[in-house]
Amino acid sequence: MTERLVVEPDLDFIREVGILGGEDLKKCYQCATCSVVCPISPQNKPFPRKEMIAASWGLKERLVQSADPWLCHNCGDCNTRCPRQAKPGDVLAAIRARAVEEYAAPRALARAMNTPAMLPVLLLVPAVYLVVMGFLMEKIFGARFLNFSPEGAIVHAKMVSTWLVDVVMLSAAAFAVAVFARGVSRFLGDIHRNALAEGKTAKEAIDSAGFLQALLRTIPVILRHAKFNECTENRARAVSHMLVLLSFIGLFIVTSIFFVAIYVFQQHGPYSQLNPVKWLANVSGVALIVGSILLIRQRLAKPDQKSVYKDWLLLGLVLGLGVTGMGAQLTRLAGWAGVSYAVYFIHLMLVWFTFAYLPFSKLAHLVYRTVAMAYAEYAERR
Amino acid sequence: MSEEKAAPASGTILVVGGGISGLTTALEAAEVGYEVFLVEKNPYLGGRVAQLNQYFPKLCPPTCGLEINFRRIKDNPKIQVLTMAEVERVEGKPGDYTVAVKVHPRYVNENCTCCGACAEACRTEIPSEFDFGMKTVKAAYLPFAMAFPARYVIDPRILGTEDAARVKEACRYDAVDLEMQPKSLRLNVGAVVWATGWVPYDAKKIDNLGFGRHKNILTNMMMERLAALNGPTAGAIVRPSDGKPPASVAFVQCAGSRDENHLAYCSYICCMASLKQATYVREKCPEAEIYIFYIDLRAPGYRYERFYDRIKQDPRVHFIKGKVAKVSEDPKTGDLTVVAENAVTGEKIEQTVGLVVLATGMQPTASVHKPPAAVRTTPEGFILNAPEAGLFAAGCAAKPADVVSSNQNATGMALKAIQTVVRR
């Protein structure tokens, strides 16, 4: 208790946490009910009580550079039991959103993702990019990659060639991977330093082999939603979330298989509905739609949970991906050429949006939470 | 000024509630010469204070002070006490209220000498409300040894049974009157002081703290009865599960208070009550370790602060800054594990203890039984003074308070009531 702490509050940070959904933060009176009722909070330095005081003191580094906010699955048990309705779960969600911004480069893009007014611009970028790339490739290779008046049987590749789709999507994915690589390496270093400083781990340094093993042990935990399922208040959400995650994985597998089919075996789509890969695609597509609708309904049904722009943007995007994906296929089968091409085009835009902006959006939790959970496993934080 | 100052139709004051605040208002008004009706719904006066083992910070028995007040009432012809009575309606205006009061039958008249023969003869036992159900009493009973009026009560549940006949038979003073009927009275009064007090917050509603599910969890008011010599264990602090003295006791502060899911406000007395009860445990179970889990300890004023400082010196009393949010029971031993985060060290604490006392707060009685009059209350149910009407609130009917402040406030309300009836 002789340790002296000079608090240098980052007032902007406090304000940002408020905007990102943590506006009731200052109601907290530090009773620590939240840390006790949280089913997944560790024994040593549990969250979110300490995050609540650090946030109201504006101690940004202690929060955005900590793994703890990412260990929270926002199940809401703390919100329900909080005697002051300070909504610790929502404060942690806001801190996570702020941390995504912190580790993203360029930062301006991350801020734009949290600014509703920027949405039209962000949506327009993939359309412009696709058209410009189509134009450039036509100039370079002398072939047509874009045709806005395709004729005959509906084949989406007639409008946007598979080559062009892959160039546009892979470049977006490569960008996301690069941003994540930089972000995660900084993040991992920061959360380890934070854990050492706060006495949350006995491990002096991160050894790569040990960390990788911890990561491998963590992945089944994530796939089973084992932590998510420990929540009581919001357990129903774990099922919907699992549907969405598994459908994304399913669609990733489908895309990879078709990628190989095209470039290795020269088999172009559309593929037969009897193809088992197609079954996986359709099951995943339906699961994506159902899961995201359930998540939206669950959020609407919980007025004690703060839902802000970042939350609706992600849910809207996921639903949009599912609806346009299935929609493009169904309208193709129905023979509605104009509609089908238009819906397909929107679908492409949303896919690009998802890929390119992944490290800047709430969806970045896919990476940061995985890393934080793997680190907690490595650091033996229980 | 030509404002008319007509003489009030009635110079009488009605005090609703015969706890410490109501007694004080009634006595202060009566002792300066005003007629007072004191209406109490229980068969005895003294209210919550009668249930306490000791006052803080002096640790003296409340019966001492109550006895003095009862003496003052007995000697004062200006106070008319109505027990087992409820106000049903208050109508009119300041200086001229008509009050409907219903008096429930006691089935025992003023011939009673408290000989106890009726209780001996009675075979039916009922849970003692006075002792929060921790023991049973005969259906013909004296509410507690010091009860005023000193007169037995017969529980209506035995009417028409053989027990009723036995009880009547046993009385040698012709004091048992099983034909007694409820009475409706109409009182004309000039002002009303509500001293309806408080009820302990229902600890079952705080479902994460396990009260009602686990035997060895008490409320602070139950602890008062347990420690009281006239209580269910004759003053022994023992665990309900096995009747043994606990090896350790945890006090859970703010159990339902300062909590928007329960009582949003601070109940004011619970910190001091737990500090006081720590001294009960130290005295009666000297080997027991005591853990007090709190958000912040509130010991207002230098007397209370000094009391707190004294308890802090005790090496067996441990203070942990962190609210208990989870309690679990070992079904074999009946021991309980309370979980909190020590907000100073940032460690989760799982403390296993033999007995848990929930420092439950005060819920205004008016939030449960709305006063049948044109009074305004806060959203929590505390009664607001309406000086423009002749309606006032004293003690814990107005705000959570200790006995000292209740009495000061009750004295002030006697003056307010007097001002109303004399129209000044």
Q: Are residues A285 and A311 in the same domain?
A: yes
Q: Which amino acid is at B49?
A: V
Write down the pLDDT at residue B10: 78
Q: DSSP 3-state assignment of A282?
A: helix
Which residue of A lies nearest to B321 if distances are taken between CA atoms?
Answer: A31
Name the minimum distance, in Å, from the CA of B219 to any CA of chain A: 19
Q: What is the mean pLDDT of residues B92-105?
A: 96
Write down the pLDDT at residue B423: 78
**Based on the structure, what is the number of domains in chain B?**
3
Residue B2 has pLDDT above 50, yes or no: no
Residue A104 corresponds to which tokens in the numbers above? 């993203």
Q: Is A256 on the interface with B (CB under 8 A)?
A: no
Q: DSSP 3-state assignment of B18?
A: coil
User: What does residue A203 show for φ and ψ, rounded to 5 degrees?
Assistant: -80, 125
Would the CB atoms of A50 and B261 count as touching at under 8 Å?
no
pLDDT band at A304 (very low <50, low <70, confident <90, very high): confident
Neighbours of B80 (CB within 10 A): 16
pLDDT band at B351 (very low <50, low <70, confident <90, very high): very high
Q: Select from A33, A68, A85 the residue whose CB has the most chain B CBs within 10 Å, as the one to mutate to test that interface.
A: A33
H helices present in B112-209, as ranges: 117-121, 162-170
Residue B300 lies in a domain: yes
What pLDDT digit, counting tens, does each position of B317-350 carry?
A: 999 999 999 999 999 999 999 999 999 999 999 9
Partner-chain residue, chosen from A1, A31, A42, that has the shortest CB–CB distance to B323 = A31
Would the CB atoms of A45 and B325 count as touching at under 8 Å?
no
Q: Is A62 on the interface with B (CB under 8 A)?
A: no
B347 contact residues in A (CB cutoff 8 A):
43-45
Q: What is the mean pLDDT of residues A69-92?
A: 94
Which is more confidently placed, A167 or A2? A167
Q: Is A27 on the interface with B (CB under 8 A)?
A: no
Q: Select from B323, B324, B337, B338 the residue whose CB has the most chain A CBs within 10 Å, as the one to mutate to test that interface.
A: B323
Q: Is B266 on the interface with A (CB under 8 A)?
A: no
Single residue among A79, A106, A133 that ends a domain in this structure: A106
Residue A2 lies in a domain: no
Residue B233 has pLDDT above 50, yes or no: yes
- C-alpha B156/C-alpha B106 separation (Å) is 9
CATH of the domain at B389: 3.50.50.60
Q: Are residues B92 and B50 in the same domain?
A: yes
What are the DSSP calls for A297-313, one per residue?
HHHHT-TTS---HHHHH
Q: Which of A256, A347, A251, A362 is nearest to A299 (CA)?
A: A362
Residue A84 has pLDDT above 90, yes or no: yes
Would the CB atoms of A36 and B346 count as touching at under 8 Å?
no
Name the minimum distance, in Å, from the CA of B344 to any CA of chain A: 9
Q: What is the mean pLDDT of residues B346-362?
A: 97
Write down the pLDDT at residue B1: 38
What pLDDT digit, counting tens, does each position of B173-209 carry?
A: 999 999 999 999 999 999 999 999 999 999 999 999 9
Q: Is B259 on the interface with A (CB under 8 A)?
A: yes
Q: Are residues A23 and A71 in the same domain?
A: yes
Q: Are residues B189 and B207 in the same domain?
A: no
Q: Are residues A113 and A102 in the same domain?
A: no
B261 contact residues in A (CB cutoff 8 A):
81, 83
Would the CB atoms of B324 and A36 count as touching at under 8 Å?
yes
Residue B8 lies in a domain: no
Write down the pLDDT at residue A1: 53
- C-alpha A39/C-alpha B132 separation (Å) is 34
Torsion of CA B90, B92, B96, B100, to 10 degrees: -30
| Length of chain B measured in residues | 424
pLDDT band at B3 (very low <50, low <70, confident <90, very high): very low
Which residue of B lies nearest to A39 if distances are taken between CA atoms?
Answer: B326
- C-alpha A153/C-alpha A341 separation (Å) is 12
- C-alpha B354/C-alpha B48 separation (Å) is 27
Q: Are residues A86 and A179 in the same domain?
A: no
A31 contact residues in B (CB cutoff 8 A):
254, 258, 295, 322-323, 343
Q: Are residues B149 and B282 in the same domain?
A: no
Q: Are residues B58 and B92 in the same domain?
A: yes
Residue B45 lies in a domain: yes
**What is the dihedral sign for C-alpha B204, A75, A45, A8?**
negative
Q: Are residues A233 and A177 in the same domain?
A: yes
Q: What angle do CA B139, B142, B143 make, to 5 degrees?
A: 95
Burial class (CB in 10 A: 0-12, 13-18, 19+), B326: middle
What pLDDT digit, counting tens, does each position of A336-376 carry?
A: 999 999 999 999 999 999 999 999 999 999 999 999 999 99
Q: Which amino acid is at A315?
A: L
Strand order in the sheet with B96-103: B85-93, B96-103, B183-189
The lowest-confidence range among A7-21, B97-111, B220-234 is A7-21
Helices (H) and strands (E) in chain A, counts: 17, 0
What pLDDT digit, counting tens, does each position of B142-173 carry?
A: 999 889 999 999 999 999 999 999 999 999 99
Q: Is A46 on the interface with B (CB under 8 A)?
A: yes
Q: Is A44 on the interface with B (CB under 8 A)?
A: yes
Write down the pLDDT at residue A6: 79
Residue B220 has pLDDT above 70, yes or no: yes
CATH of the domain at A63: 1.10.1060.10
Q: Are residues A311 and A254 in the same domain?
A: yes
Domain encompassing residue A285: 109-378
Q: Are residues B235 and B296 in the same domain?
A: yes
Q: Is A60 on the interface with B (CB under 8 A)?
A: no
Q: Are residues B66 and B190 in the same domain?
A: yes
Q: Are residues A68 and A182 in the same domain?
A: no
**What is the dihedral sign for C-alpha B267, B271, B277, B281?**
positive
Name the minimum distance, in Å, from the CA of B247 to any CA of chain A: 25
- C-alpha B26/C-alpha B17 separation (Å) is 10
Q: Are residues A116 and A75 in the same domain?
A: no
Would the CB atoms of A83 and B347 count as touching at under 8 Å?
no
**Based on the structure, what is the number of domains in chain A?**
2
Q: Are residues B51 and B143 in the same domain?
A: no
Q: What angle do CA A319, A320, A326 make, to 5 degrees?
A: 90
Single residue among A106, A138, A158 that ends a domain in this structure: A106
The reported pTM is 0.92
Residue A351 lies in a domain: yes
Contact B27, B195 (CB under 8 A): no
Residue A256 lies in a domain: yes
Write down the pLDDT at residue A272: 86
Q: Are residues A167 and A188 in the same domain?
A: yes
Residue A45 lies in a domain: yes
Neighbours of B179 (CB within 10 A): 6
Neighbours of B302 (CB within 10 A): 8
pLDDT band at B219 (very low <50, low <70, confident <90, very high): very high
Single residue among A106, A133, A157 that ends a domain in this structure: A106
Would the CB atoms of A36 and B323 count as touching at under 8 Å?
yes
Q: Are residues B346 and B237 in the same domain?
A: yes
Q: Are residues B276 and B236 in the same domain?
A: yes
Residue A1 lies in a domain: no
Q: Are residues A297 and A344 in the same domain?
A: yes
Which residue of B lies nearest to A1 if distances are taken between CA atoms?
Answer: B344
pLDDT band at A18 (very low <50, low <70, confident <90, very high): very high
Q: Are residues B77 and B194 in the same domain?
A: yes
Residue B7 lies in a domain: no
Q: Are residues B289 and B241 in the same domain?
A: yes
Single residue among B360, B377, B402 that ends a domain in this structure: B360
Residue B405 lies in a domain: yes
Q: Are residues A135 and A85 in the same domain?
A: no
Which residue of A lies nearest to B206 if distances are taken between CA atoms?
Answer: A81
DSSP-derived letter for residue A23 is: T
Query: What percent of chain B is modeled with pLDDT above 70?
Result: 98
Q: Are residues A57 and A127 in the same domain?
A: no
Would the CB atoms of B341 and A46 count as touching at under 8 Å?
yes
Contact B118, B142 (CB under 8 A): no
pLDDT band at A151 (very low <50, low <70, confident <90, very high): confident
Would the CB atoms of A32 and B258 count as touching at under 8 Å?
no
- C-alpha B233/C-alpha B134 separation (Å) is 9
Q: Are residues B343 and B288 in the same domain?
A: yes
Q: Select from A36, A53, A77, A200 the residue whose CB has the most chain B CBs within 10 Å, as the one to mutate to test that interface.
A: A36
The enclosing H or E element of B406 equals helix B403-422
Q: Is A81 on the interface with B (CB under 8 A)?
A: yes
Would the CB atoms of A81 and B340 count as touching at under 8 Å?
no
Would the CB atoms of B346 and A46 count as touching at under 8 Å?
yes
Residue B77 lies in a domain: yes
A42 contact residues in B (CB cutoff 8 A):
348
Q: Is A29 on the interface with B (CB under 8 A)?
A: yes
Residue B64 lies in a domain: yes
Domain encompassing residue B291: 202-360
Would the CB atoms of A81 and B346 count as touching at under 8 Å?
no
Residue A5 has pLDDT above 80, yes or no: no
What pLDDT digit, counting tens, does each position of A255-293 carry?
A: 999 989 988 888 887 888 889 999 999 999 999 999 999
The lowest-confidence range among A166-170, A270-274, A315-319, B234-238 is A270-274
Residue A6 lies in a domain: no
What are the DSSP calls for A216-238, one per residue?
HHHHHHHHHTTTGGG-STTHHHH
Residue B233 lies in a domain: yes
